[in-house]
Structure 1
Amino acid sequence: MNKTCLLLSSLLFSHTLLAFDEVLVTPNHPQGWEAVNVREDGLVEHSKIQPLFGDGSLLFATITETNGQDKADYQYLWQQSADVIDFPNRTLGSISHLSYAWYRDSTSTTTAHFLPVYRLSFYDDGGTPTDASDDVLGLLIWEGVYNGFNTPAEDSWVWPDITNDHFWVFVSQSAQGSGVIENYGSTLNDWINGTPVGQPGNPVIDLSANTFITGLNLGVGSGWGNTFLGYADAVRIRFGSTDDTLYNFEVCDVTPVNTDPDLIFANDFECYKAP
């Protein structure tokens, strides 16, 4: 479901009126989003327990029974073609807004700074589209602990603008191999213009304004330890001035009404069947 939406964001923080395309993401209509990297001690699902706007949000939960198994991600990759770029205007240099809402439940026993992470999938062809030898793929990753959320609020929604915050990089493919670039204080603009480097032995990459952004990923874990319970919603990304989308995670496709005779079940909650 797509619609142009106006939202008074002062519900959560002081901002001006915002305009964007809202995409309603539900279990019956995931709009390309899917659970990935879900290990034995991790969970992600649509849930009604802690709604932000409508009837639900994304629930993330982990326990630690086996080290490293406490991981779960929810991902949307809009790049699907193997030989062409599906959205050539969605580049690192054209990003003009990033935000998302997160909620950490006080029942969590993992370290206080852990909360759902926001990731941008990227692909850089090194300026040579026909030569795969210099291709770089990876993730630009926003984490609260590197952006002042050392002891984030619990039992309440937090919805920050993260556009100019710090992002670190995980390289999944490059001529130098894969791994973390251990530089946690660089902005997206730094990655475009400053060519940040990490520690000796880390991959060295050269991103630019033309680096393609190919998708979004939210996630928790791994190796957090103990337990985590939290939620995420209202994931927004804008490229330029017109390509502006907010992904709203709900359980039902429309408002549930218990008296309706034609019901389906989504996450154990009764919902209208989608038209």
Structure 2
Amino acid sequence: MLVLCMVSPLAAAFEEVEVTPLNPHGWLPANVRDDGLVEHSKNQPLFGDGSLLLATDPQTSGQDKAEYEYLWQQNTSIPPVYDFPQRTLGNVSDLSYFWYRDSASLTAGHFIPVFRLIFIDDAGTADPLDDTWGYLVWEGVYNGINPAATDSWQLSDIVNQNFWVYVTYPQSNSGTIQNFNSTLDDWINGSPVGQPGDPVVNLSANTYIVGVSVGVGSGWGDDFIGYVDAVRVAFGAGDDYLYNFEVCSIFEENTNPDVIFDDSFECFKRY
């Protein structure tokens, strides 16, 4: 782990976390269906030796989905205790990530890896079953990206852009809120509504953000190959992290003569 200061468009200090297969720092594959793939890859490195590969090869309808997720809320006590109570929707200060769409992709030209904030809207009772869970979802097509650039890394700074909401719990109120032109501030202050029959939420500045994910699919309908790197999530200057996806550690010098070659990831590691 180290602190980097980068020239615009990432012209601010943040703490970099190197995420590798051997040291994922809490990041895990999630919602990976039969026709989806997510893994660390050396195919398209951004800063070091790798990045995160996300791909679909649809053979069965609805099975083209894969995500990579960091859920930092791990405490399951009742009543709920939040591991990072300062990480709320109102405190989100920076969100950005690099994405790459390979020109070999056959799905519609606006599809790129999607960014999600995972939220819990606490009802204020001791019973967690009263809370609302869901995703605030950023998609390029609702932010002017159509068609997406191909075969090049693109940075999206999304903190002030449009997000839509998918409610996962309670099941009686689950589904997509079909309002695709609302910012995080709108969701905090305006309680946007969707179409008749859509779920209803009333998010606020106090809504807890408990994780982040990037992903591809479902229902994209054809092959997709893409990559993600340098996911940045900040809740003010003292809580500002950039997650750098690599295959091998680039911050550890292999000067020890007892280094062993790990051919599972094609890199040298200390044992």
TM more than 0.5: yes
Q: How many residues align?
A: 264
Aligned to 2:2: 3
Indicate conservation of the 8 Å contact 1:176/1:204, yes or no: no
Structure 2 residue runs of 5 or longer lacking an equivalent are none
Which structure 2 residues correspond to residues 114-129 of structure 1 after superposition, within 5 A? Answer: 114-126=111-123, 128-129=124-125
Q: How many Å apart are 1:125 and its aligned residue?
A: 0.9
Aligned to 2:207: 211
Aligned to 2:260: 262
Aligned to 1:111: 108
Matched residues in 1 for 2:121 and 2:18: separation?
A: 30
Matched residues in 2 for 1:104 and 1:213: separation?
A: 28
Matched residues in 1 for 2:128 and 2:42: separation?
A: 44
Q: TM-score, normalised by structure 1?
A: 0.92
Deviation by residue 1:96-122 (Cα, 9 ceiling, x = unmatched): 110000000000000000010000000
Q: TM-score, normalised by structure 2?
A: 0.93
2:5 aligned partner, one-letter code: L
Shift in alpha-carbon separation, 1:175–1:33, aligned structure 2, 3 A: closer
Aligned to 1:45: 39
Matched residues in 2 for 1:220 and 1:141: separation?
A: 12
1:88 aligns with 2:85: yes
Deviation by residue 1:62-104 (Cα, 9 ceiling, x = unmatched): 1111111111000000000012100000000000110000000
Between 212-221 and 133-142, report the one with greater CA deviation. 133-142
Matched residues in 1 for 2:270 and 2:144: separation?
A: 41
Indicate conservation of the 8 Å contact 1:134/1:175, yes or no: no
Q: How many Å apart are 1:177 and its aligned residue?
A: 2.0
Matched residues in 2 for 1:254 and 1:57: separation?
A: 13
Q: How many Å apart are 1:176 and its aligned residue?
A: 4.4
Aligned to 1:253: 249
Aligned to 1:12: none
* Overall identity of the aligned pairs, in %: 58
Matched residues in 2 for 1:79 and 1:265: separation?
A: 34
Aligned to 1:196: 192
Indicate conservation of the 8 Å contact 1:67/1:223, yes or no: yes
Aligned to 1:228: 224
> Of the candidates 11, 20, 38, which is equivalent to residue 17 of structure 1?
11
